Chain A
Amino acid sequence: MNIQFRENQEAASPLTVKTAIADCDIHPARATRTELYPYLAKRWQHHLEVYGVHAYQGMMEGPPYPKAQPNASRRDAYPPEGGPQGSSLSFMQKQLLDPNNVQLGVLNPLNTGQGIRNHELSAALCSAINDWQIDKWTSKDKRLKASIVVGNEDGLSAAAEIRERAGDKNFVQVLLLSRNVEPLGQRRYWPIYQAAEEAGLPVGVHAFGFGGNPITPSGWPSYYIEEMVGHSQCQQSALASLVLEGVFERFPKLKMVMIEAGFGWGPSLAWRLDKAWQRLRSEVPHVKRPPSEYIREQVWWTTQPMEDPESREDLFDVINWIGWDRLLFATDYPHWDYDEPSRVLPAGVSEANREAFYLGNAKKLYGLA
């Protein structure tokens, strides 16, 4: 029995590897602390050496909820030449891109210039990280595409950064984090949406960030798991704000991508919004259609960490409610909760839906079809 089982496993595996995929959430890291300095004015290099980075949280380095692994990353993802996980292109090619036949890899750099109280420094760091993405990654491997990282709390400078990069084929989206000083629908962020819509770029909202608010509406919890699970609640509140402030109504061509916050909650939030909107729409006359319609038309979702119910039928229910055309496969490489491409989608999915899930939806959304 065991021998039979193993043979089937091995037979199945090369087949899945052959199929090209898009990985819509890859986290490139800096190999050294000063790797961004060539892209920063002397003034900011000096600032970082003397004052460091002041985020909307208390720790000078590292997260207040210690991760489950060093750098929240796989222990087998340290590059042989040294440096943290995700900091070597050649090792990323060897460990992720080549064996999984990744045809499109979307880079989402974290721990950049976002969530920083000094907005000028924030803008300088974001611009630097964008230059760095081209130099170190996208110019050296055509499968990789970058995200325009923007100083999220200053909408005007963020919009300027987007306009500067618009039309540059190295970039396929604008990157925001879910946790900001205010909910993402607020007016201070509208210049970002306007510039992204004009540039024809989706706006990705990745779970995480620092905005100074407790990560529950009832204060700060105790554990890392609460922060991790809590990201999906933050994302729900951010998406509700985008709908209820009328961002989708005002920017009808805007496309938003919910990254690494799950998608199982999507239908439930949309139903709840619809029900409340039926009662309370006189408070938000700028929301002209049922909220679920904006979400269905203007929101995409990355898959990792994949919803994992006991029964695959439950998973298929949720995907059917969202739409097979709205999911974007992602691994979250090199993070520890990485999703292995060949094991994510259970059997019983049509070939067309499988192709859309792994590749087609991403190529279409990011203009690479």
Chain B
Amino acid sequence: MASLIAGGIDCDVHPAVPHLTSLLPYLNEYWRDQVTTRGMVDLISQSYPQNSPITARPDWRPETGKPGESLEDMQRHVLDPFKFKHAICNPLYGVQMVFSEDMQAAFCRALNDWLVKEWLDRDPRLRGSIVIPTQSVEKAVAEIERCAQDKRFVQVLMLVMGDTPLGKRALWPIYDAAERLELPVGIHAGSAYHNPPTAVGWGSYHIEDYVGQAQAFQTQLTSLIVEGVFAKYPRLKMVLLESGVSWISPYLWRLHKFWRGVRMETPWVDRAPLDIVRSNIRFSLQPFDAPPDETTLNRLFEHMQSDELVLFSTDYPHWQFDGQDALPEGLSPDLVRKIMIDNPHTTYPRLT
């Protein structure tokens, strides 16, 4: 495997909320009462069943509790051995699944405050993403503005499958705030399950949902590009997290071809989709969904025509690789440096 270098950035780690009751101290009296009186249960998303092999590496799985709920484990498993300068925490707690905008806003606020107190305050290497209540764009913007005052929040976090395609104009105030506050928007794998998890309906299996994440990312990239998000917000960066990477080039060939054919439909898209992706879109490394041979890997990077697109990630505690083998075989030392250090720093202005 290619050699890791010290001082890198892990752009995707997942601290777990032990239980909904862990958020009670961060909720106001009304919502504490709602949670207890109504007997609300833990918000675990179907995207990551707790005991699924993909949810935690066997040697990263704790004897009790949820994978990723202990800071000491995260330090021991990735922060120390990988010698990271920073790791960006992307909580995947299922707050996006509820439908009430008030409840969602309360839970997001609690989750963000919990992240500060239980994680960011306890390890200076950690940085955070702001989880937002997308049921209300107004409340989402307010939450971004509230959290952004803490410079340790380096990104806004959304799920790849929500209520509407992400390019829709109604969501633009979120992107306006993100650009203004120098926060990239991270789009992470997972669904609010407010729509079927594939565009052809509900599949039967967890593995089907997981494989389908890549198709969801593709449709979102189309939406973001053709709605004109990057024409309106040219400085906005978006990071596709846990998206996979091998689909990028063939997907872009197709989008580019159709854009040339029907660009009269979306005349505000003033640059080629390929150029927009190169300037505004980044992808996290894991899961690296390509075969483990060096020739194929190098061809895939050639197809991408850029060494700036990929950002290092372990996807801790998800099981994407074993040992220290986060970097696929055959990457040049220059590319490793770009992936682990240069690209993340260029993407996240708040990382210093």
Query: Using Cβ atoms and an 8 Å threshold, which residues of chain B touch A297?
Result: none
Residue B92 lies at the interface, judged by CB distance under 8 Å to chain A: no
Residues of chain B from 185 to 227 with CB closer than 8 A to chain A in the complex: 191, 194-208, 210-212, 214-216, 218-220, 222-223, 226-227
Known contacts A279-B319, A280-B210, A317-B299; is-contact A218 B246 (Cβ 8 Å): no
Known contacts A233-B218, A280-B54; is-contact A183 B160 (Cβ 8 Å): no
Residue contact B205 to A244, C-beta cutoff 8 Å: yes
Among candidates B164, B208, B254, residue contacting A218 with C-beta atoms closer than 8 Å? B164
Of A233, A265, A267, most B-chain CB atoms within 10 Å? A233
- The minimal Cβ–Cβ distance linking A228 to chain B, given in whole angstroms, is 5
Residue A353 lies at the interface, judged by CB distance under 8 Å to chain B: no
Residue contact A183 to B250, C-beta cutoff 8 Å: no
Residue contact A241 to B219, C-beta cutoff 8 Å: no
Query: 1/0 per residue A3-28: CB within 8 Å of B?
Result: 00000000000000000000000000
CA distance A274 to B199 in the complex (A): 21
Query: Using Cβ atoms and an 8 Å threshold, which residues of chain A touch B264?
Result: 68
CA distance A284 to B216 in the complex (A): 22
Query: Using Cβ atoms and an 8 Å threshold, which residues of chain B touch A334?
Result: none
- The minimal Cβ–Cβ distance linking B135 to chain A, given in whole angstroms, is 13
Residue B291 lies at the interface, judged by CB distance under 8 Å to chain A: yes
- The minimal Cβ–Cβ distance linking B243 to chain A, given in whole angstroms, is 11
Residue B289 lies at the interface, judged by CB distance under 8 Å to chain A: yes
Residue contact A217 to B164, C-beta cutoff 8 Å: no
Query: Using Cβ atoms and an 8 Å threshold, which residues of chain B touch A53?
Result: none
Known contacts A217-B191, A217-B196, A279-B319; is-contact A309 B203 (Cβ 8 Å): no
Chain A residue nearest to B244 (CB atoms) is: A272
Of B162, B215, B261, B266, most A-chain CB atoms within 10 Å? B215
Residue contact B258 to A214, C-beta cutoff 8 Å: no
Residue contact A68 to B253, C-beta cutoff 8 Å: no
Residues of chain A from 209 to 232 with CB closer than 8 A to chain B in the complex: 211, 213-226, 228-230, 232
Query: Using Cβ atoms and an 8 Å threshold, which residues of chain B touch A219?
Result: 162-165, 194-195
Residue B176 lies at the interface, judged by CB distance under 8 Å to chain A: no
Of A129-137, A141-149, A173-181, A193-201, the one touching chain B: A173-181
- The minimal Cβ–Cβ distance linking B156 to chain A, given in whole angstroms, is 17
Residue contact B214 to A226, C-beta cutoff 8 Å: no
Query: Using Cβ atoms and an 8 Å threshold, which residues of chain B touch A229?
Result: 218-219, 222, 254-255, 258
Query: Using Cβ atoms and an 8 Å threshold, which residues of chain B touch A272?
Result: 211, 214, 244, 246-247, 289
- The minimal Cβ–Cβ distance linking B247 to chain A, given in whole angstroms, is 4
With A182-B202, A218-B162, A273-B211 known, 12 other A-B pairs at CB within 8 A are: A182-B200, A216-B199, A219-B162, A222-B167, A225-B262, A230-B219, A232-B254, A234-B198, A244-B205, A265-B251, A271-B246, A318-B250
Q: Which residues of A pack against B, CB within 8 Å?
A: 68, 178-186, 211, 213-226, 228-230, 232-234, 236-238, 240-241, 244-245, 262, 264-265, 267-269, 271-277, 279-280, 282-284, 305, 307-310, 314, 317-318, 321, 336-337
| Sampled A-B contacts (29; CB under 8 Å) | A68-B261, A186-B204, A213-B196, A214-B199, A216-B165, A216-B199, A216-B216, A217-B196, A218-B219, A219-B162, A225-B258, A229-B219, A230-B219, A233-B215, A237-B215, A240-B212, A241-B200, A267-B246, A268-B214, A271-B246, A271-B291, A272-B247, A275-B287, A307-B250, A309-B253, A309-B303, A314-B253, A314-B299, A314-B302
